[in-house]
Amino acid sequence: MRISLWNNRANATRLIAAALLSATAIAATPAAAVSFDILHAFSGGRDGQSPFGGLLADSAGNLYGTTTDGGGNTGAGTLFRLGTDGTDFTVLHTFTTFYTDPRSYGGSNPRGGLIADSIGNLYGTTYQGGTQNGGTVFKLDTSGAHSVLHSFEQNEAGFSFSEGRYPFASLTADATGNLYGTTYAGGDRDYGTIFRLGADGDDFTVLHSFTGGAGGAFAYGNLLADGKGNFYGTTLGATQGNHQGTLFKLDADGNFTTLYSHGLGNGSYAGLIADAAGNLYGTTDQGGTHHNGTIFKFDTNGVYSVLHNFAGSGSGANPRGNLLLDAEGNLYGTTHDASPYDSFSNGTVFRLGVDGTYAVLHSGGTPFAGLIADAEGNLYGTTTGQLGDDWSSAGAIFKLSDVGFVLPSTPGEPGEPGNPGAVPEPATWAMMIAGFGLVGSVARRRRETLRSAC
């Protein structure tokens, strides 16, 4: 079975984000009533608890993800698979905690989502665990064998994690299979790093250490790659206790640039997405008119604009997952809360129309990650937990139907008009927004080409 694919070099010539969709689209009218279904409610036991990361989909319609807690006696999280109809939930791997068994270096408490290569091997990070409890980069192969590709460790003096520690986000890959990611802390000033690692675990390299201040600190989100070897991302803060994040670019030559600095009390947990023109979109967890967070756009001319200020009061606050873009330019996403920092307030799933109209599609469940969509326009996501009637307190996987998600027209070959970018840039695997059926159709046509590009 194929999961999402290493992209070929031809596709890697374009900036592709969570939704590189053609402007030619199938007309769709949002349904009056959104249908909501829980596909799996986590028990907090062996199946896991609190899925922080987003979902990954394969062409057969299976969903893959991680939980940061649960997994039986270890409490160190799980890696799971689930059918999109809610059947066949399977724990593929149970992580072991460093504190329970310091001799177990396999990593614990993953908080990011997964990516996959052309033959279905899965790759991800754990926030903790490894040889010195600084986190790991791991691989789960198609036979179910788990291996640690890298453990984040202290320097030779044993005083600091100069290569980084506590990777929070999903990985990103280039066309040759190298893995890229961020760490929340560690590095030269303990503000985090950007790193590169070979798919076999060799050639670990720190590409950048965050400096704090105008250079940003504490990267929670995943990196976005373009076809020229450049990476884009966000930071949550500027210094310890200073919630003043940034947008940044790391170019193919290793030059780091701060593209934009948010105001005080304003930073991002989420990574960035882009449209076909290269405009960047993201969210801030706080800030804005109501101090509940914003949706923003950073265009190709370097102009920053706020598209929406979250109002709280039940309409959403504190967005932390990546956005999702449909073929007409409508943005979909989640907020962790419905009202500011109220753990019992129920988060939301929302749509921001291309005309600026904001709508709450569903409320409940404190989601941390963003959404993915299938070829029918259904949305899928996770919630970390909620004590309300509709959700499991240990988290859940959910499906939303009839949301008005606008699908692309009949897909052509990658790069042709009408093609939704169904085999996405490696940077967007964790979102896989173009749809399971579309992924499969393009994958079957391009498999041999892609295989030779690995």
Instruction: Please name every residue paired with 182 in a beta bridge, in sequence order, or none if there are none.
Output: 194
Instruction: Decide: residue 417, CB within 10 A, 0-12 exposed, 13-18 middle, 19+ buried.
Output: exposed
DSSP-derived secondary structure letter, 239: B
Residues sharing a CB contact under 8 Å with residue 94, sequence separation 6 or more, in sequence order: 46, 71, 72, 74, 76, 77, 78
Q: What predicted TM-score, i.e. pTM, was given to this entire model? A: 0.84
Rounded Cα–Cα distance for residues 441 and 446 (Å): 9
Q: Count of CB atoms within 10 A of residue 436's CB?
A: 24
- What DSSP state is assigned to residue 72? T
Q: What is the pLDDT along the chain (454 residues), one digit of tens a residue?
A: 444 333 332 233 223 233 333 223 333 334 458 999 999 999 999 999 999 999 999 988 899 999 999 997 778 999 999 999 999 999 999 998 766 555 557 899 999 999 999 899 999 999 998 888 899 999 999 999 999 999 998 876 555 789 999 999 999 999 889 999 999 999 999 999 999 999 999 999 999 999 999 999 999 999 999 989 999 999 998 766 667 899 999 999 999 999 999 987 789 999 999 999 999 999 999 888 888 999 999 999 999 999 999 998 888 889 999 999 999 999 999 999 877 655 555 789 999 999 999 999 998 888 999 999 998 999 999 999 754 554 557 999 999 999 999 987 644 333 333 333 222 333 333 333 323 332 332 233 333 222 222 3
Residue of 410, 278, 349, 336 lying closest to 52 (CA atoms)? 336
Query: DSSP readout, 225-245?
Result: E-TTS-EEEE-SBSBTTB-B-
Q: Which helix (H) or strand (E) holds 66?
A: strand 62-67
Per-residue pLDDT, 352: 97
For residue 193, what is the enclosing H or E element? strand 193-197
User: Would you put residue 39 in left (φ > 0), alpha (ψ -120 to 50) or beta?
Assistant: alpha
C-beta of residue 48 within 8 angstroms of C-beta of residue 70: yes
> Residue for token digits 């996770």?
382
**Predicted local confidence at residue 238, as pLDDT:** 78
